[in-house]
Amino acid sequence: MRLTGYRAHMSFLERVNDLPVLGLGMSTEYGAGDSKGALDLLAHKREHPQFARFLELGIETVKGIDTHAEAWLSTGSPTTYHFLDVNLDEKEDFDAIWLAQVRALVRKIKPAWMCGDAGLWHFGRRERGHMLLLPPILTDESASALADGIVALREATGLEVLPENPPGHVFLGDLHLLDFFARVCERADTGMLLDCAHLAIYQRTMGYEPTTGIADFPTDRIIETHIAGGTEKSLNGFHWVEDDHTVDVLPDTWQVLETIAPRVPNLKAAVFECERNPAAYCIPGFKRIQETLSDHPVVQ
């Protein structure tokens, strides 16, 4: 078992000390590197190593990893495993075949941890045509089910599993999203990946200020953070933000990052999600993240 793996006898806030500091990194998923003008992972690492300390691999087991990810792995550089194909709150989703595929991928890519949006990645069974991404139902019952799934996946893989707050524009339930994830973290005894852009989308959708709820959230549970651009859209008087990973990060998202920056003692990794954009367009975003976290070990 890797040293960074899950140790069942310790609490998360003890285990977190075993997790490596990955620093500022980037993300990809199958085929993203083939997009016209997409970020060249290895070139970015050569030219701006301070912005490419690790690679977050977005993975559907049915697709595996592409040649760009293979090339990264061949350098021996760090990775994290971002799942794109499991509904953590559905027991039926943890079938033996999927788990075997996950374990095989974990052996191959040796990620520091697993993470991923804790939402509905697919309706019904895991099959072609069923994919989407919806946020969880924000209720106490749903938080418990999600926590159970995190524990199950952690025990099945031996890795920490960090739930991420998903994007969306339909949020249901009687809990604020941060209250929901605080319960998930406590019940699963885990940390989380706070996506600043997703949180900003949620706050705006629900009519809250960008930083509502952060003061009461156990921010020592935040191990990783994501920053990404989004596009404001309108339809017949309804306004929403599309989480399309452009390099145009919205002010709300920066405000979230600036608010959490001094409150995240256990932050180990930050990702600027800009995988489908040319490097030159991405650099300003990486620099601003670096500046915002300049007092934090994650960018030292």
Partner 1 sequence: MGTAHTTLQRFVVRMLFDPQFVDRVHQEDQIPGLDVEALAWLRAVPRQAWSTDPYRRSRSLQALLEEFPVSAAVWTTEVGDLRKLDAFFSSNAFHICIHERGSLALSFGNWLVASAGPIGTLETAFARARRFTPPQGQGWVLAPGHEPVALPVGTVRRYLAIREHLGGDAIGKLLKGLDLPSNLPALGEQTEHLLIEGGASSELSIGHIGQALYDLLNGARHAKTIVQLQQLAISLGAEPDEADTVVQDLIDEELILEIAS
Q: Is 232 exposed, middle or buried (0-12, 13-18, 19+ CB in 10 A)?
A: exposed
173: which strand partners? 138
Residue closer to partner 1 (CB basis): 73 or 99: 99
Q: How far is the CB of 189 from partner 1 (least distance, A)?
A: 21
Q: How far is the CB of 113 from partner 1 (least distance, A)?
A: 26
| Maximal CA-CA distance, the chain | 54
Residue closer to partner 1 (CB basis): 148 or 258: 148
Residue closer to partner 1 (CB basis): 9 or 128: 128
Cα torsion for 289, 77, 263, 290, to the nearest 10°? -20
Residue closer to partner 1 (CB basis): 25 or 149: 149
Residue closer to partner 1 (CB basis): 17 or 238: 238
Q: How far is the CB of 221 from partner 1 (least distance, A)?
A: 22
**DSSP, residue by residue, 37-74:** T---HHHHHHH-GGG-S-EEEEE-TTT---HHHHHHHH
Q: How far is the CB of 265 from partner 1 (least distance, A)?
A: 32
Pairwise CA distance, residues 193 & 176, whole Å: 17
In the complex, the residues that contact partner 1 under the rule CB under 8 A are 89-90, 92, 95, 120, 123-125, 127-130, 132, 134, 136-137, 139, 141-142, 145, 169-170, 172-174, 233, 235-238, 240
Tokens of 102: 């996950």
Q: How far is the CB of 133 from partner 1 (least distance, A)?
A: 12
